[in-house]
A and B are shown apart, each in its own frame.
Chain A
Amino acid sequence: MVAKAPSKQSTTKLSELPHEGHFGEFGGQFVPEILIPALKELERAHKEITARFDFQSELKALRADYGGRPTPLYFAKRLTEHAGGARIFLKREDVVHGGAHTLNNALGQALLARAMGKRRVIAETGAGQHGVAVAMACAVLGLNAEIYMGARDIERQALNAQRMKVLGAVVHAVTSGSQTLKDAINEALRDWVTNVPTTYYLMGSVIGPHPYPMIVRDFQRVIGDEIKGQLLRREQRLPDLLVACVGGGSNAIGTFYPFVSDEKVQFLGVEAAGAASLSRGSIGVLHGAKTFVLQDEHGHIAETHSIAAGLDYAAVGPEHALYKKLGRGEYVPVSDAEALEGFRLLARLEGILPALEAAHAVYAGVQRAKRMKRDQIMVITLSGRGDKDLETVVRYDTQPTPEQTL
């Protein structure tokens, strides 16, 4: 995190620049020059404003009374019996207001935007859960929200697109590229370079240029902090394994980060097989950060596919890239069909409909639990609820396409 010394061969001495915002070799600020001052301002504001007592107490109250935190840590008895191995707990982010973990971050950043005097908030969304959370946070704090969403995602997450509109947000359909999350981010960034003096970009995951991966992590770490307290109270011990799905990686980082120095606690990140940047990608630069990216030999970004719109993304947060490189976290791919198996399993055994994103974590968690001992503890973060996905699931059951059986 210190300034890189300019190379000895250089003839002119470059000014020392702060080289913060890197996770090892990953992260950084690979963005157009016009955004650099805004990112620096954001970094400063985040540091100063979130440290204030009144900010923290307002956030805490909103999270509790508006958002429904703390969320339960539920012992999934029947799922545990089914797997026949480790005891499986579910961290119930699906019961957060709005239906996903995304509100944790949206409330935090919307409060920050308001404190910075920015009343126009823009955001990208994939599954629509971040868009819904931003629309809610902006409604409750009196801000204006504009959400960029891929046209393909609007189609497959129609309910969420409708919810955003009803909540007062303007929804922009993005028709460029693959019309999914990646393209929604491109379009949100283009909006930001055009309106940067008046606009707050409320990034939805631990991706993008510094300081976003840090800010979003700080607002999502409440998941892991709660898990730690709840499990210590209940079991007087830490978990053996934490499992979470990874799209950009925010619910996973929120789950893992508070345990990063607890070396015995292992992390399992679960990616969509058709968008598995950590499992199958290579190092590259996308949306402002150096990280693992799905790309070809020329550095062109690959088109991805997942049945879960929130995991359908060609890159991943730089902090996960570092965890992977250091071996701190393990990352595995799960296919559409496997995720659906996880979805059905949780529905029938526990009466919970997980979001298709979270269903990836359920599937991988159950597989892993089978190989663990009965006295071991696993926590699966259930990042969201599955109401938004019912239509997709039903359609898949009746007519799986070759693409879907990837």
Chain B
Amino acid sequence: MILSQRLNKRFEEVRRRGEAALIGYIMTGEPQLPRTLEYIKALEAGGLDVLELGVPFTDPIADGPTLQAAHARALRQGVTVHTALQFVRELRKSSELPILLMTYYNPIYRLGEESFARRCSEASVDGVIIPDLPIEEATSWVNQARKYGLARVFFATPETDTERVKKICEYASGFLYLVSRYGTTGAHETLAPTAIPLIERVRPLVPQDLRLAVGFGFSTRAQIEMVVRAGVDGVIVGSALAARIAEGASPETITDYVRELKAGTRPLP
């Protein structure tokens, strides 16, 4: 099976418009299960280009307090991989928004990599992000993801040297996820000093068919403008959205916030 085209097409369209993609995260079941779809629609209405849909885990070691709380709330509502897949099926009835599942590895392992990949593909998920699966452990996953046409997003960080970035690019498809700062997920107002040097260092190493997106700590239009100018194809916003949704922001407020962030992806020269 060839790679799901929804994601690549979206990056193409965005690029043609002279923008970068705005990639937003929401945990399945936020703020409450019956309303997640409504909030996804709100993100889309604000101009979100790609959705990361969270699958909860009991021990989210890469996440800061905001997303830890989202994981815990989702678990309390009984959310599982299957719930997330059901949401994607539902959403697909009316939307071509590219969707990546974001899940820790154990739920995938428990289901079986092949079974998980097949179900994702059947639900028309476009790719999967696994924050605790480095390339050392990913050979079999990459093969399953290839077989089922799923994008395989891997990470590069300020600690990742040039040689390793190149290796990671061999495993990745869809986009390479740059971790802008040391630390867990969590919203910050300013850009980490590590972000721009990382983008400048990695940009020339990334092959033509792979996009470059940056995340961790983004919450403002100004931050987004800076990294888009530095040459990324996408910016990921997670905790900032999660915090607003958790605090009770209405769908309209979320749409407005996304619109403002999206404006940062088309900086004036």
Contacts and interface: CB of A to CB of B under 8 A. Distances in A.
Interface string A1-32: 00010110111101101110000000011111
Contacts of A301: 58-59, 106
A366 interface: no
B58 A33 contact: no
Ranked 10 nearest A-B pairs via Cβ: A299-B110, A299-B107, A33-B155, A194-B183, A34-B157, A299-B106, A301-B58, A298-B80, A7-B143, A37-B159
22 contacts: A10-B143, A17-B167, A28-B136, A31-B134, A32-B62, A33-B154, A33-B156, A36-B134, A36-B136, A37-B159, A176-B72, A190-B62, A194-B184, A195-B182, A197-B159, A284-B110, A295-B106, A298-B80, A298-B107, A300-B56, A300-B75, A301-B106
A31 B59 CA distance: 12
Interface in A283-308: 283-288, 290, 293, 295, 297-301
Interface residues of A, number: 49
A186 B111 CA distance: 23
Contact of A190 (B109, B142, B171, B184): B184
Contacts, number: 140
B68 A176 contact: yes
Given A30-B105, A300-B75, A14 B139 contact: yes
A266 to B, nearest CB: 31
Contacts of A260: none
Nearest to A37: B159
Given A34-B182, A36-B134, A37-B164, A186 B170 contact: no
A193 B134 contact: no
Contacts of A284: 106, 109-110
A7 B159 contact: no
Q: Which of B58, B111, B156, B161 gathers the greatest number of chain A CB atoms within 10 Å?
A: B58
A285 B131 contact: no
A316 B59 CA distance: 16
B57 interface: yes
Given A6-B139, A285-B106, A34 B179 contact: yes
Given A177-B59, A194-B183, A301-B106, A34 B139 contact: no
A186 B61 contact: yes
B136 A286 contact: no
B146 A19 contact: no
A189 interface: yes
Interface in A201-254: none
A46 interface: no
A286 B147 CA distance: 27
A10 B140 CA distance: 10
B95 interface: no
B132 interface: yes
A32 B132 contact: yes
A288 B62 CA distance: 12
Contacts of B135: 17
B143 A9 contact: yes
Interface in B152-174: 154-161, 164, 167-168, 170-171
Given A29-B136, A190-B61, A295-B106, A34 B159 contact: yes
A33 B160 contact: yes
Contacts of B68: 176
A196 B142 contact: no
Contact of B179 (A7, A19, A33, A189): A33
Contact of A30 (B133, B142, B179, B183): B133
B81 interface: yes
Contacts of A49: none
